[in-house]
A and B are shown apart, each in its own frame.
Chain A
């Protein structure tokens, strides 16, 4: 009898909390971080802008206002016009499509590749681990930027090539991260208990190890997008990214080179630059916020 009473009071402790899924808890924590919420909002707005650019843009990309070359920001052209009299706001909007696509898709490639390799390496260990990790070390030895320059020089440029190249040159960090996660998680007792229940490798990897590794992977993915957008902009600025004629933020900056442009018509450089800055900053702050929100050791 006495035992039952104790058990019941024990249960009440558990009942005081609401039923919450992991996602709800993370969202609750993220909401408290103002900077992260603002960043998330900006990122969402940027993607909406990219998707709906044709509807939102005030002009078409090939509308040229010949009477208003290098036009100052005005009521007609909010951000001014460029050397060919094109509306800068329109160009910035369309340009976001390249940056955001490149950022998201090459992140996807890098994360997928990194997770698969890291998972195999960490889970199976031994000789497989050795081969994968030495390969990763070798890949890390190449300075990424010069590798990209070489590849572009050989295979040519273009948005799809840039996406693939950026993805294929940035998986190493994720591989190491996921391997480390798997190495430590697979020694935990809940994994041992799954094994004792007769779970096979696939079940242990997909149901136990991967869900518990998601937090750092999501953080790495978010930060990766920012870095990738920066690299793409740099490549396009050098004329090695997207093809000439494709509108991108880096490409707009390239056209804004030159001392006269910088001094006399600074808006041509400032606005695309500001967009890159804002986007990368948002992704980084969101990544930091997610890192805190996803940390299971952090209690309210």
Chain B
């Protein structure tokens, strides 16, 4: 496990301003990502889980600079991603790619599959003409489609096939990091398994590194090496997947894991039911964001933001319970 750190994210913050009043003054901010730290080693898969609206996808987009960060640092290999100028960023995009959630919205309906996949090569001047066509055909076969599909339009494909096209497009520039933004959430369960297996095969074949964003804990457990749990713009726990699933420390992680269905009707389990809703990210609770729903909440939790601490063995938790 001595692999190099490929991506290092430090205290990443993304606030979306809320404008109001006659003069469009900023009256508040949606704190989508509110201080996130993590790193990914080369060749590993980091799973990022959390409820809807907790800032998972925003984190992925800010890392790729599809959205501008409010604060924080992102280091890719030895490059400070936030400090790159337009041209340097364009060059770096070859190394970092993204696979989107919705296979229907993520492919241009007016372009053939060949053009969609070939576009990336064109942009970076990797191939053109016959050479490009050959490479696109190869990629299509790599993801389980055939070369004939090149001249077809996205609407002619099923959801699973479209997601394969999305994967092929991401692979076209030969990246080292792929951010997978809920790549299987929109697919049928049977198709999910195919796409997940495909992604694992590709990881082994090309030595890819994944940031795998999802809300399905079973899928994340299957594909990830390490898992980060996010709640209201912050990572509350990050650990090796076996450690996290067997020995969750944060009350939120415990509640989440207790909600995974067990495919055996005879097994009794203790579900931890979280009361109430996720508070609004416009006005997150003071101190620990989770204290409003935490069954162990103490006085300190309402006042002080818990530190994101290493418990040893790469197990990070942000919770005041750990100090006792």
Contact = CB atoms under 8 A, between A and B. Distances in A.
Please indicate whether A and B come from the same complex rather than being unrelated chains.
Answer: yes
A25 B119 CA distance: 24
Chain A: interface size category: 20 to 34
A217 B190 CA distance: 41
Interface stretch (B101-109, B127-135, B265-273): B101-109
A190 B106 contact: yes
Contact of B146 (A11, A17, A200, A211): A11
B106 A198 contact: no
B219 interface: no
B2 interface: no
Contacts of A197: 93, 97, 119-120, 123, 169, 173
Given A22-B110, A22-B153, A199-B123, A189 B100 contact: yes
Interface string B59-84: 00100101000000000000000000
Contacts of B98: 192-193, 196
B222 interface: no
Contacts, number: 90
A14 interface: yes
Contacts of B107: 190
Interface in A193-246: 193-200, 203, 207-208, 211-212, 214
A198 B123 contact: yes
Interface stretch (B5-13, B157-165, B309-317): B157-165
B19 interface: no
A14 B161 contact: yes
Interface string B206-244: 000000000000000000000000000000000000000
Contacts of A22: 110, 153
Contacts of B108: 190, 194, 207-208, 211-212
B156 interface: yes
A33 to B, nearest CB: 21
A198 B111 contact: no
B190 A6 contact: yes
B151 interface: yes
A17 to B, nearest CB: 5
B52 interface: no
Interface of A: 3, 6-7, 10-11, 13-14, 17, 19-22, 188-190, 192-200, 203, 207-208, 211-212, 214, 296
Given A190-B105, A193-B98, 14 more contacts: A11-B146, A189-B101, A189-B102, A189-B106, A192-B106, A194-B119, A196-B96, A197-B97, A197-B120, A197-B173, A199-B123, A203-B123, A211-B108, A214-B110
